Structure 1
Amino acid sequence: MALQLVQVNFKARDDSALGRFWAEALGWGVSSEGPGVTNVEPVGFVWPDPVAVCVDVVTVPAPETVKYRAHLDLATTSAAHQTELVARLKEFGATPADVGQGDVPWTVLADPEGNVFCVLEPREIYRDTGPIAAVVVDCADPRAMARFWGEATDWTLHEVSDDHARLRSAKGVGPYLEFIRTTPGVKTVWNRVHIDLLPYPGDDQAAEVARLQTLGATLADVGQGDVPWIVLADPEGNEFCVLRRA
């Protein structure tokens, strides 16, 4: 049993506007599965497919504006591409962000609703990931997080140390899932950016949730009410959702 990592979910004041920004950033298209939801995915994409981790933007009342543990790293193919992408994103409403990064070769920006992301300098490891190089999660213990998420999903561990862990789809396509060791902080609000997982055809949502709980996940209440997905928190308290197949 395993789950597919299918999308990154952004909570927003305006899903349509933020969805358009991320479509421009990634060179993807937009659609909507209903009011208050904007889906951002490659044009012609048949969901779900590990070749891309999509972006779902959902409107919620007054989302928090704090630094969240999860963010996206965007890939570039050359120094000129990095410069051009940063300039284009600023035209669409991105702003420079200072998260204490100092003098680094990547550029840290915030999207129009304040979500921080990075535009990376060209790196060989990300040459075939598509526009999203990695989904990055701050954590206290990358080794423990790699164990949990490696067992929760069908992704393969590529690298692990005390400071960093990197996983990728077992098919060797799409972005990486990375855990970066940071100074632990007190978590006081639910994460505005989180990961959504989907059972494989024939697998049972409830059984997968029970399996995740044996791995250390806990049920979480973020005010979701009566919904078809189940909200859990990983061992470090990061919320994520287990979707139900249609």
Structure 2
Amino acid sequence: MTQEKQNNFIEAAPGAKKPVGDTTSLFVSLYLIILAFFMVLNSISNQSQTKIKSATESVSRAFDNPFEQNADFVDVTEEDATDLPPNDEFYEQLQGVFASLIGFEGKFPTQGGNTIKVEFKQSDIYDAESSEFRKDQDAFFFQLSRFLNSEGIGSIREIEYIIYTGNKFPEGPEYWKDISILRSGAIVSKLTEMGVRENQISIGVAPGEQDLLKISFFIRDEKTSRQNLKNADRTGLGEVTTPMPEVEE
């Protein structure tokens, strides 16, 4: 018994050589720590990828328009509007433009073409009850102007910009002061200041869903794009041509 106690004291003595089992346990512990570290890194990476995927899907859902036909858009109001084949780059660039629009929840077609129509709220880009544009949407207008200025050789990019006025239409002796008319005119001023040509922009107002704004984007062959608007067939679009008042001298 005395001999066994002495052996126990010797084994517990400071400086005594540790058994091989302790060294193995140390390496196993280090391995588990390193493994846990890499598992944490992998988890963080997966979370980041999930967030990116969710954001991408969110943008895709915003662009998805369940009400549009599943086919390339064709401008049926104009014969031979373009001799160009469907342009995927045109569509993808336009997606990038609307990705920069803060709070965009409008209608965006699911497929590209040479005519693309986008619907969203006027309040997305205008200050409330004003024809002034929201300052936080400057990036959108910058991207829009770049898009319109990125014309290829022999092609023209144009937009048709329609403000909808609810169940009424601007009228009265000073109808040109109506906010819908002021808003439609403001886009011309805004884009021309950013280098877009006036003949790339067509504007109008029409009765329709309150606060609705529709922009139609066109890419056309340069030879067939110079169509006089008075010859365009506007039947069924709800648009009315009203002369502006003469300026008194």
Question: Shared fold (TM-score greater than 0.5)?
Answer: no
Decide which structure has greater strand share: 1
Structure 2 length-normalised TM? 0.28
